[in-house]
Structure 1
């Protein structure tokens, strides 16, 4: 009885297909039933899946890309830094400042150096009164400098003439002979230099002899050392690097 019903259902289905009622959609399940020898109308749970169905579509993943306008990119980038002669602006300014300081230093040193040189020249001119050097021992200048009262020798030395205060140096202007005596007087120095044309006393205790005259006359107040062998108020024996100079009188030898 059941087989007849299935047969009728199957025959009816075939009749419908013949009439074109289901001609647009093929019955894939019927083919499957025929392959497996299942009676029509019995569903075994197996269905044919179409390859082009929506469940078989493969979706490709696409990385998110930020949509950034190129104009916005150019605005976001910092502008290129301006350079001066190939240097950054800060480096160029710092170099200019250093150069300016160096130039100012050179100018200041030059100005002060010139002032110091001029001042030294003026001081030297005030200290020195240059006289023409005599050609021999008999041609000394006719004018002699006389010391003021505070530096006067207050003595006379026989056969010798006092010619004033003269500059000395480390090489010694009167360098032919010398001695040092803490009890020195001008007379004692004259006796020591008896074989010379000139003698001079210096710093209160030094005696120098020479065959040649002195070179540079000095202001008389530079000879202010009292003789070590005389009364403090009576006799002067030169100064510190200054000679109380004497010359032998003409015709005495």
Structure 2
């Protein structure tokens, strides 16, 4: 039987001797349970009540939820139970019991990560693959409507009553999801770097535009810098300003000279 990470076909799951032998099934089961590279391996910490993702699927968050779930399943070496590659074996195959246990385990992962209203409609589906396909058919959105929604949210997002960290986090979530939908252009002779620099500049502009007017002086000084600093460093500067205000060291927006000195730290 092939071992390790070889996943070309199901020949590796065949018994070492006749499948009618009880000792053969026991030997096969033991092998699968001990091989951590095998999709049938179940860790001692795995149990049906395990929650793999932090947010429940409610329907509208399917795109982000499915991405997080696939990452978690990959960490568990179980994505093949949802992509349909692992088909159900013949009933006389000694791996049928192991497959059934793993399938039920992955099904439990799904039910624990889905709102009760949706989970109740999935209980009678026979496999984890069937659940995954059903959720995709119901909630997957094509790219164009979702891109429109993201850009609409970005256009309307501003700091308002949010602190700088929460505001930036909400922006970054939308940026990262939008980036996932955008094709990567093919450039030569440094063109890719120029395109990436332009995207980062757009992010920085969007972040600065949505800040409250109390940061107007800080924003003005940053916009005067050449070249533009990375958006993460701009964020760090604004957070420093916010922290100093919150402890009472400043009663109003910082002066131009103090802001410029802080901004110059971006290049240290």
Decide: shared fold, TM above 0.5. no
Scaled by the length of structure 1, what TM-score is found? Answer: 0.23
Structure with the larger strand share: 1
